[in-house]
Structure formats: structure tokens, C-alpha cells
Amino acid sequence: MTRMTIDELREHLCAAYPDLCPLFSVEFGDGVLLVDSARLREALEDLKELGFDRLGMVTAVDFGDEFELVYRLTSRSMRVGMFVKARVPRSIASVRSTVDLWPSADWQEREIFDLFGIVFEAHPDLRRILLTDDWVGHPLRKDYIDDSIIRRPDYL
């Protein structure tokens, strides 16, 4: 199958799941589906159904009060990739795991748990992965403080 354009993807998505359609936007040439964290799981299931068979990347961004979870999905059959984004509040940073949909989420979710402290419910083995088990804090949070960090001064 030839490479699908963003517009074709939008049409395809809208035809299959009309409720997801208004959430779809295009940013820097990539399709983005911005969903509510409550509906995240549902949307991901739908997209898997649609043919997005690879979960290339899961990561999170710290936006102060909220964390944004970013899922990068790729479809081999449609030859197209897209993002799914959802924001979770910092106070209850928890979201349903996607390991059962795509096993590749396993380590990546562990990494997010490790570095951001976002809890993935129903993850089979949610432990720290990169840091030592006794590490305190989640370094990629913007408010992470560690005495051992020597800040590089602002010097441009």
C-alpha cells in the first residue's frame, strides 16, 4: 500500500470513528489526536483496531500542573504515523497501561514511571528501570531537585 497522507488518514479515521474526528489536528506535518485522559485507553484501542500496529514511542512531558503523555503510533499497512496525546493532572498522575495492546509499551512505561513518576495501572511489572531502585524522586520532572546536580549557568 502506498503511503497515506495526513488528509487521507483524517478521512479514514473520521469514517471509522466519528467521535475521534474533532480531536484530530495536524502539527508540524504529523497527525495529532488530543484526547481526554479518561478516554485515552478507548482511543488507543480504536486506533489499534484501525491498523496502528506499532507503538513506536511513549513519553511524557512535564507541563507544570499537568503531564502530557505522548504516544507515537505507526501503521505498517497505511504507512503513516500519528500522535495521541493526553494530559493527566500532576496530582493524580495515573493512566491505564497499554502493555496488553502493544508489548513495546512495557519498558517505555517503566521508564516514564521511573523518570516522571506517572503510574500505569495494570502494568505487569512497574518498577524503576533506569535508575537504582532506591532512587528518590523523578528526575525528568521540572521541579526535581537533587543536591548533586551542578547547574550549568545561563550563559548564552
Partner 1 sequence: MSAECRTVVNVGPSHPSTHGVCRVLVELDGEIVRRAEPIIGYLHRGIEKMAENRSYLQVVPLTDRLDYVGSMYANWAYCRAVERLAGIRVPERAEYIRVIVCELQRIASHMMSIGSTGADTGAFTAFMYAFNQREQVVDLFEALSGSRLTYNYVRPGGVGADLPEGWVERCREFVAQHPAAMMEIDDLLFGNVICRARTKGIGVLTPHDAIGWGASGPVARGSGVDWDLRRDDPYSVYPRLDFTVPLGERGDCYDRGRVRLWECVESCRIVTQALDQLEPGPVQAEGLPRLLAPRPGDAYDHIESARGSLGVYLVSDGSVRPYRMHVRSPAFANLALLPMLAEGHTLSDLVVVLGSLDPVFGEVDR
Partner 2 sequence: MAGVDEFARALEDTPGGGVVLTSIDAISNWARGHSLWIMPMGTACCAMELIAASFSRFDFDRHGSIPRPDPRHTDVMVVAGTITKKMAPSVKLLWEQMPEPKWCVAMGNCAVSGGIFHHDTYSVIRGVDEFLPVDVYIAGCPPRPESLQDGLLRLREKVRSESISPSRRRTVEGLLPLPGGEKR
Partner 3 sequence: MAVTRDAIVTPRSVTNDYPGGVAGFVQKARSLLTGAAITARAARRPPVTVRYPAEKLTVSPRWRGALRLRGLLGRDGIELLTAQSPAYNSVIDGLRRSERLPGCVGNCPANVDARGQSFLIADDRVAEAYELVRQRNIMPGVLGRICHHPCETACRRNHYDEPIAIRPLHRFAYEQFQEFRPERLARFENTRGKRVAIIGSGPSGLAAALDLMRLGYGVSVYEKDAAAGGALRTGVPAYRLPRDVLAREVADLVEMGMELHCGVEVGVQIPLAELITRYDAVLLAVGLQTSRILPLPGAEAEGVRGALEFLRAGNGTGEAGVQGKRVLVIGGGNVAVDVARVALRVGASEVRLASLESSEEVPAHPWEIEEALDEGVIMTCSVGPEEVLAEDGRVVGMRVRECLSVFDETGRFAPQFGESLTNIACDVVVFAIGQSAALDALASDSDVKVTEQGRLVVDGSAFTTSAEGVFACGEVVTGPGSAIGSIAAGHEAAISIHRHLESIPVDASDRVRRPVPTYARYAEVDLRLVEDLRRRAVMPLADAEERARDFREVELGLSRDHAMAEAARCLRCESEICVGCTFCARTCPDLALMVERDDTPGARCLTRYELDLTLCSFCGLCAEQCPTGALVHTGQYELAFYSREFMTFDAAEMLRDPGGTRATGADASRHASEGGAAE
Binding site for partner 3 (CB under 8 A): 152-153, 155-156
Residue with cell 502530557: 68
Cβ(132)–Cβ(148) below 8 Å:
no
**What cell was used for 70?**
505522548
Count of alpha carbons within 13 Å of 54, Cβ hemisphere only? 11
Shortest distance in whole angstroms from residue 154 CB to partner 2? 12
Provide the pairing of β-strand 66-75 with 80-89.
antiparallel
**Residue 148 binding target from partner 2, partner 3, partner 1, none, CB below 5 to 8 Å by type:** partner 2
Among 92, 127, 152, 154, which residue sits at the site for partner 2 (rule: CB under 8 A)? 152
Binding to partner 1 by residue 119, rule CB under 8 A?
Answer: no
Which residues in 104-143 contact partner 2 (CB under 8 A)? 131-132, 139
Cβ(101)–Cβ(84) below 8 Å:
no
**What cell was used for 54?**
506499532
Question: Helix, strand, or coil here: 1?
Answer: coil
Window 31-50: contact mask with partner 1 (x via CB under 8 A): --------------------
Binding to partner 2 by residue 151, rule CB under 8 A?
Answer: yes
Cβ(93)–Cβ(69) below 8 Å:
no
Window 14-33: contact mask with partner 1 (x via CB under 8 A): -------------xxxx---
Binding-site ranges for partner 2 (CB under 8 A): 131-132, 139, 144, 146, 148-152
